Structure 1
């Protein structure tokens, strides 16, 4: 399930966890109404409560402890039952949870997309978008703040939601269009149906453009990630360079090994420049993906 990022996080998680309830709802299920007590029940409870309370007081006033305890047990227990009923019988926890999920699903209808509702083509596009987003968010360059991680945290979920929302509308409308066309069309209707089919294809191409922009951004981030990891590995090796040189000198090993090891410094500089270039390219791709607020 893809949820509108504008939904509060707790509610969004409840929606995601509530997919089994959504499946039941689509089969026509609705939760039972909460149990309530009628005014007649309340009057009966008040009378019974007064009688029970009188009995308890009478039992406590008896001289013998055994008789007082008997009255307390026989008449006190009904009072406890009355008080429980007065406050309402406890609901089954699972039923109450399902009722809460049902209410949230109804309240936020239109602000979540179940990926299983997408047709095959739309599902593939959404999966591509989600893979691209995962590449960015899971990268170390993003975690280290080399990218605009704050804007990524806002823009990427918004992009995922917009793509999912458009694909859900496209899938539903495309299914209806195919159903109509499958029954056969007269030449007059065919003249109208063909441009509408092209409109659906154009809409899919527009969403594809969004997905490809995400993938370009993710590709730049992947380049930056490789350069970042290689740069840090080279730095680790360069930090131990003197140990290698010392070992080579003491062991009388091939003298050509030292110049080879010294190239680590050059490699580190080269990778640092590559990292800067790839991060710059990622920033440029980000700006293309997210043009910012309209002025």
Structure 2
């Protein structure tokens, strides 16, 4: 693809290993960006710190706490202080409110810590846009665009290109590319951009050359996906023509009958033969386009089979 087209592609915020369970994938998609970038449960503090942040420390809280202490220390029906009997309902409600205010932030904190712990466990199985350098971002955007184009195509949806197989192989290819690009980005970010002396310059040049070779290899994978997407688009166009010819042919029976009844001569026969030839030509072109797309799909999956 050309650079002006690449600049318009959207870099995926999140690319997930398709081998992860569906529930885990959904958890990752709904997680906050900050949770995905730094899924560290220890950085969230303890449950008591969450309680301290969440509990409103106002005069109402102090009164409820004092009433609860008094209630549980003997102020009841047999209390020598009858004037305080009216506090019973208030103390009961206040104590329930206090328990609720204590439990809600604690339970929420524990749920959040459990989710972050799970995200931390699968951190290697998803790639964020911030994990990638600009060159890697563009390659991943191109790969995602090609995969999406194939899966949106009519020949894919109508199962002319083995939809079930595509739904498995294409996400796997996209994930392999994302994983390689993350590793490339990690090495590039750790590589100096400028040599500090004459002795370091040839070493740095060789290192950067190998790094570029690795990037070129990843780009070849992306180009293979784009080639498959282009051939799928060509098959889609042929498919649209083929369907249009079918629609015309569906109404052609009445037309043929009309021609046969109105002019039983060589002209009518030629018209009918012409319609048949057109339909055959488009059908053959559609089959050829499908065959090219299938060959590209097999070539794309060849490394996986090896």
Q: Same fold (TM over 0.5)?
A: yes
Q: Who is 1:202 aligned against?
A: 213
The SS at the match of 1:277 is helix
**Contact kept? 2:47, 2:106, Cα under 8 Å:** no
Tell me, in whole angstroms, the C-alpha distance in 2 between the residues paired with 1:48 and 1:268: 93
Tell me, in whole angstroms, the C-alpha distance in 2 between the residues paired with 1:284 and 1:48: 82
The SS at the match of 1:186 is coil
**Contact kept? 1:21, 1:98, Cα under 8 Å:** no
Match of 2:245 among 230, 234, 242: 234
**Contact kept? 1:220, 1:278, Cα under 8 Å:** yes
Q: Who is 2:38 aligned against?
A: 25
The SS at the match of 1:15 is helix
CA deviation vs aligned residue, 1:172-214 (integer Å, no higher than 9, x gap)? 212221xx233x3322222221211111011011111111111
Tell me, in whole angstroms, the C-alpha distance in 1 between the residues paired with 2:275 and 2:76: 94
Q: Who is 2:8 aligned against?
A: none
Q: How does 1:59-98 map to 2 (within 5 A)?
A: 70=86, 73-74=89-90, 76-78=92-94, 80-81=96-97, 84=100, 88-91=102-105
Match of 1:7 among 2, 20, 23: 20
**Contact kept? 1:55, 1:71, Cα under 8 Å:** no
Q: TM-score, normalized by length of structure 1?
A: 0.74
The SS at the match of 2:141 is helix
Gaps in structure 1 of 5+ consecutive residues: 38-45, 60-66
- 1:170 offset after TM fit, Å? 1.2
Tell me, in whole angstroms, the C-alpha distance in 2 between the residues paired with 1:190 and 1:21: 39
Tell me, in whole angstroms, the C-alpha distance in 2 between the residues paired with 1:118 and 1:210: 17
Residues 100 and 248 from structure 1, CA distance in 2 versus in 1: closer, same or farther, beyond 3 angstroms? farther
Gaps in structure 2 of 5+ consecutive residues: 1-13, 52-67
Match of 2:193 among 181, 199, 213: 181
Corresponding pairs, count: 272
Q: How does 1:72-151 map to 2 (within 5 A)?
A: 73-74=89-90, 76-78=92-94, 80-81=96-97, 84=100, 88-91=102-105, 99=113, 102-151=116-165
Comparing 195-204 and 145-154, the one that deviates more:
145-154
Q: Verify: 1:154 aligned to 2:165, yes or no.
A: no
CA deviation vs aligned residue, 1:48-83 (integer Å, no higher than 9, x gap)? 88668x947x79xxxxxxx9x957524533553576
Residues 192 and 70 from structure 1, CA distance in 2 versus in 1: closer, same or farther, beyond 3 angstroms? same
**Contact kept? 2:140, 2:178, Cα under 8 Å:** yes
Comparing 241-250 and 151-160, the one that deviates more:
241-250
Q: Who is 2:54 aligned against?
A: none
- 1:292 offset after TM fit, Å? 6.7
The SS at the match of 1:146 is coil
CA deviation vs aligned residue, 1:226-247 (integer Å, no higher than 9, x gap)? 1111111111111112455678
